[in-house]
């Protein structure tokens, strides 16, 4: 640990993560005033225990004289306690009852609250106000043997204190008043975890033990716990407000670099401002540790990074090159089956989510990193492209997508607006943010809907069972049909090209509904457009050509284009690959419903597919279609882990 020196210096643009919730503004201001760039990520939410039977029982006990001592650990907690007992003890009664006991406070904050009540505590723990000082102060005031002590708890139970008092013969009653929960919105916290791991932060300033606990809890859920520990040990300066926070850091395997003499926010930031240059890690901070405040600010891919990407198992498989493991990712890997996604969607509509690059980026990255898959897929929707063409798109609850002004006549096709890819700039921004925030060896897949599937939506006005309107239009007015397909093809080619330019490493074309066509109709009404589309895509990134129900169309799809052909579960992977021949890679093809079954079945079915692929280079494991909404997340993780384990060569 480095003792803070008194030389002036300031933070010189250092990026400092701050985890305050209630005091977020004050903390950010302190960092800013020192010349640092605050990166706020609220780590806590106070959750008052609204129906608190422990508090009410405590109130009754207090009135009946069943306690000798009351220990108040925090100011906020003491105030909440007064509210929580209100049903039993009104404000006057509460203060009267407290007069009958010895009041013990842990520090200046509960002391101030007690003063507000017009009372004086008998015992006040000196700084740094940990349980040790508190215990010493209690001991100094005499033996606690036989004393009946109530402790107002705050979140993490003060286990050591309770044990020490009990060992001295006291009878301890715990009164939990509020506990700390993770904030509802974990986006900022996740981004900060990633920034720490990638050393895109200079320092973290921690002001409570619970912040440390939550930081590591989030990292664990992202599978980045050891990476976080490594970065905090080696690369990012760790400032701790005081002994309790430092203890939590040590419990997590991290030694704080800087601790102020007084456990206060202002002292913490001042100590950081004065002392950070003397911390050994400071010499190794890269330019990314300084600068602008946007947490997900894209970083330019360095050449070393693009090598790591190019050699990733996923991109090697796209090129049909052997690799040490069969890569796996899953269609709809970010979606409603994930509780965090549902929580986010409770606040934000689906289209709004797609149109907010920071949110789309966060959803994309956290799903990929949480699952441990070998590629991320952009969070967006195939139907977004319809809006700039003039369609009025809505995702209504329970009904799926609705297009309020579908194409019904040739004149409707003529009325479509010229496509400008800038209208989908929010998707391209999301691609940039994702590429900047994603692990450097994890490829990002961009995507779009294929013209036929888009045309079905545009004509039907939504989902459909038989595509009768779309097919009727196609047969009735082939000229208008081809005009529509051309418009969709041009727009899609421009859109996918822009995604690759913004930073996607592969492109998937979703022709989800094309399996409804007879092969001859596919050849006449669809294939020429697809040929043109694939020919216009940048040849620098692989294209995945996906459809469902396409068992009778596979050769035609292959001939239309794409380095990788997506297979659904209605075909055997080995037969399908034999039919496609050795010049394409394949992706698939587990039935998504298998993930609703027992984990042994998941493994057995994954084995069958791996055996059919028989270690041929060029197999990307996936489902035959998107993950179903009711799928348990642990089953998805089990599949990913199992495919890696079973295919490791």
Catalytic positions are 332, 336, 345, 381, 457
* Alpha-carbon span 409 to 363, nearest angstrom: 38
By C-beta, is 285 or 403 nearer to ligand CP3?
A: 403
Q: Residues with Cβ < 8 Å from 168, sequence gap 6 or more? A: 139, 143, 144, 145
* Alpha-carbon span 193 to 197, nearest angstrom: 6
Q: Which of 66, 336, 523, 616 binds ligand CP3 (CB under 6 A)?
A: 336
By C-beta, is 155 or 562 nearer to ligand CP3?
A: 562
Peptide bond into 128 cis (omega under 30): yes
Under DSSP, the state recorded for 377 is E
The minimum distance between CB 518 and ligand CP3, in angstroms, equals: 20
By C-beta, is 342 or 476 nearer to ligand CP3?
A: 342
Q: Which of 44, 377, 517, 606 binds ligand CP3 (CB under 6 A)?
A: 377
By C-beta, is 195 or 484 nearer to ligand CP3?
A: 484
The yes or no reply on residue 467 touching ligand CP3 (CB under 6 A) is no
Q: Which of 447, 481, 621, 642 binds ligand CP3 (CB under 6 A)?
A: 447
**Exposure of 447 in the CB half-sphere (CA atoms within 13 A):** 24
Given the rule CB under 6 A, which of 46-54, 157-165, 295-303, 378-386 is the region that contacts ligand CP3? Answer: 378-386
By C-beta, is 225 or 381 nearer to ligand CP3?
A: 381
The phi and psi torsions of 356 (rounded to 5 degrees) equal -110, 100
* Alpha-carbon span 480 to 484, nearest angstrom: 6
* Residues binding ligand CP3: number (CB under 6 A): 21
Only one residue has tokens 């990166």, namely 39
Angle formed by the axes of helices 451-460 and 468-476, to 10°?
A: 100
User: x-or-dash pattern for ligand CP3, window 596-635, by CB under 6 A?
Assistant: ------------------------------x---------
Under DSSP, the state recorded for 279 is S
By C-beta, is 462 or 617 nearer to ligand CP3?
A: 462
Q: Residues with Cβ < 8 Å from 100, sequence gap 6 or more? A: 62, 65
For 224-262, give one letter per residue: b (16+ CB within 10 A) or e.
bbebbbbbbeebbbbbbbbbbbbbbbeebebebbbbbee
The yes or no reply on residue 512 touching ligand CP3 (CB under 6 A) is yes
The yes or no reply on residue 334 touching ligand CP3 (CB under 6 A) is yes
What are the residues facing 174 on neighbouring strands?
Answer: 151
Q: Residues with Cβ < 8 Å from 544, sequence gap 6 or more? A: 318, 445, 506, 507, 508, 509, 562, 563, 564, 565, 566, 587, 620
* Alpha-carbon span 438 to 130, nearest angstrom: 39
User: x-or-dash pattern for ligand CP3, window 175-214, by CB under 6 A?
Assistant: ----------------------------------------
Q: Could you count the other beta carbons within 10 Å of the beta carbon of residue 426?
A: 15
Length of the chain: 649
By C-beta, is 59 or 586 nearer to ligand CP3?
A: 586
The minimum distance between CB 457 and ligand CP3, in angstroms, equals: 7
CB 133 within 8 A of CB 127: yes
Instruction: Say whether 142 sits in a helix, a strand or coil.
Output: coil
The yes or no reply on residue 582 touching ligand CP3 (CB under 6 A) is no
How far is C-alpha 106 from the geometric centre of its chain's CA atoms? 37
CB 50 within 8 A of CB 71: no
Structure tokens at 537: 């895509």
By C-beta, is 78 or 488 nearer to ligand CP3?
A: 488
The minimum distance between CB 101 and ligand CP3, in angstroms, equals: 54
The minimum distance between CB 572 and ligand CP3, in angstroms, equals: 21
Q: Which of 44, 151, 289, 382 binds ligand CP3 (CB under 6 A)?
A: 382
The minimum distance between CB 30 and ligand CP3, in angstroms, equals: 39
- Nearest one of 26, 336, 24 to 183, comparing CA atoms: 24
By C-beta, is 156 or 464 nearer to ligand CP3?
A: 464
Under DSSP, the state recorded for 35 is T
User: x-or-dash pattern for ligand CP3, window 345-374, by CB under 6 A?
Assistant: x----x------------------------
User: x-or-dash pattern for ligand CP3, window 394-433, by CB under 6 A?
Assistant: -x----xx--------------------------------
Only one residue has tokens 């309107």, namely 469
The yes or no reply on residue 335 touching ligand CP3 (CB under 6 A) is yes
Under DSSP, the state recorded for 423 is G
The yes or no reply on residue 148 touching ligand CP3 (CB under 6 A) is no
The yes or no reply on residue 383 touching ligand CP3 (CB under 6 A) is yes
The minimum distance between CB 364 and ligand CP3, in angstroms, equals: 8
Maximum CA extent, the chain:
97
User: x-or-dash pattern for ligand CP3, window 13-52, by CB under 6 A?
Assistant: ----------------------------------------
The minimum distance between CB 378 and ligand CP3, in angstroms, equals: 6
Contact positions vs ligand CP3 (CB under 6 A): 331-336, 345, 350, 377, 379, 381-383, 395, 400-401, 447, 463, 510, 512, 626
């Amino acid at each position: 640990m480095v003792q803070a020196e008194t030389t002036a210096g300031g933070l010189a643009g250092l990026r400092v993560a701050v985890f305050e919730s209630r005091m977020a503004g004050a903390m950010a201001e302190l960092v800013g005033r020192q010349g640092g760039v605050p990166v706020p990520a609220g780590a806590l939410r106070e959750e008052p225990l609204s129906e608190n039977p422990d508090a009410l029982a405590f109130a009754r006990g207090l009135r009946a004289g069943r306690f000798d001592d009351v220990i108040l650990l925090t100011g906020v907690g003491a105030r909440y306690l007064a509210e929580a007992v209100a049903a039993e003890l009104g404000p006057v009664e509460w203060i009267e009852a407290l007069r009958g006991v010895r009041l013990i406070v842990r520090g200046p904050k509960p002391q101030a609250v007690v003063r507000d009540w017009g009372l004086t505590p008998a015992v006040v723990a000196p700084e740094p106000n940990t349980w040790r000082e508190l215990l010493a102060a209690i001991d100094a005031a005499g033996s606690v043997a036989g004393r009946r002590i109530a402790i107002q708890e705050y979140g993490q139970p003060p286990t050591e204190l309770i044990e020490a008092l009990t060992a001295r013969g006291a009878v301890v009653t715990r009164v939990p008043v509020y506990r700390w929960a993770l904030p509802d919105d974990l986006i900022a916290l996740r981004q900060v975890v990633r920034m720490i791991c990638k050393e895109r932060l200079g320092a973290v300033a921690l002001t409570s033990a619970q912040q440390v606990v939550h930081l590591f809890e989030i990292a664990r859920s992202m599978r980045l716990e050891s990476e976080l520990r490594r970065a905090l040990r080696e690369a990012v300066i760790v400032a701790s407000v005081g002994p309790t926070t430092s203890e939590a850091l040590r419990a997590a395997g991290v030694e704080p670099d800087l601790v102020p003499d007084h456990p206060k926010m202002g002292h913490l930031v001042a100590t950081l401002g004065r002392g950070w240059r003397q911390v050994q890690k400071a010499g190794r901070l890269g330019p990314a540790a300084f600068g602008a405040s946007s947490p997900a600010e894209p970083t330019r891919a360095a050449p070393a990074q693009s090598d790591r990407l190019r050699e990733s198992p996923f991109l090697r498989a796209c090129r049909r090159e052997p690799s040490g493991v069969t890569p796996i990712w899953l269609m709809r890997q970010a979606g409603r089956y994930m509780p965090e996604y549902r929580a986010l969607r409770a606040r934000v509509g689906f289209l709004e989510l797609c149109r907010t690059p920071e949110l789309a980026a966060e959803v994309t990255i956290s799903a990929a990193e949480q699952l441990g898959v070998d590629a991320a897929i952009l969070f967006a929707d195939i139907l977004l492209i319809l809006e700039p063409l003039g369609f009025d798109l809505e995702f209504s609850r329970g009904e799926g997508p609705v297009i309020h002004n579908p194409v019904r006549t040739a004149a409707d096709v003529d009325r479509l607006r010229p496509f400008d890819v800038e209208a989908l700039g929010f998707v391209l921004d999301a691609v940039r943010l994702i590429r900047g925030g994603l692990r450097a060896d994890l490829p990002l897949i961009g995507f779009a809907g294929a013209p036929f599937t888009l045309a079905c939506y545009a004509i039907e006005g939504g989902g459909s069972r038989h595509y009768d309107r779309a097919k009727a239009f196609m047969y009735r007015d082939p000229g208008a049909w081809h005009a529509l397909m051309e418009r969709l093809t041009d727009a899609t080619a421009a859109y996918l090209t822009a995604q690759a330019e913004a930073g996607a490493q592969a492109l998937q074309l979703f022709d989800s509904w094309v399996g409804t066509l007879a092969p001859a109709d596919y050849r006449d009404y669809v294939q020429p457009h697809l040929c043109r589309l694939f020919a216009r895509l940048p040849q620098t990134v692989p294209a995945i050509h996906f459809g469902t129900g396409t068992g009778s169309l596979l050769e035609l799809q292959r001939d239309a284009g794409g380095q990788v052909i997506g297979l659904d579960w209605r075909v055997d992977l080995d037969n399908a690959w034999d039919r496609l021949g050795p010049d394409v890679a394949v992706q698939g093809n587990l039935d998504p419903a298998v993930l609703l079954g027992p984990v042994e079945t998941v493994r057995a079915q994954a084995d069958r597919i791996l055996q059919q692929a028989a270690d041929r280079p060029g197999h990307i494991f996936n489902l035959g279609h998107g993950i179903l909404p009711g799928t348990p997340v642990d089953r998805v993780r089990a599949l990913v882990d199992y495919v890696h384990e079973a295919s490791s060569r």
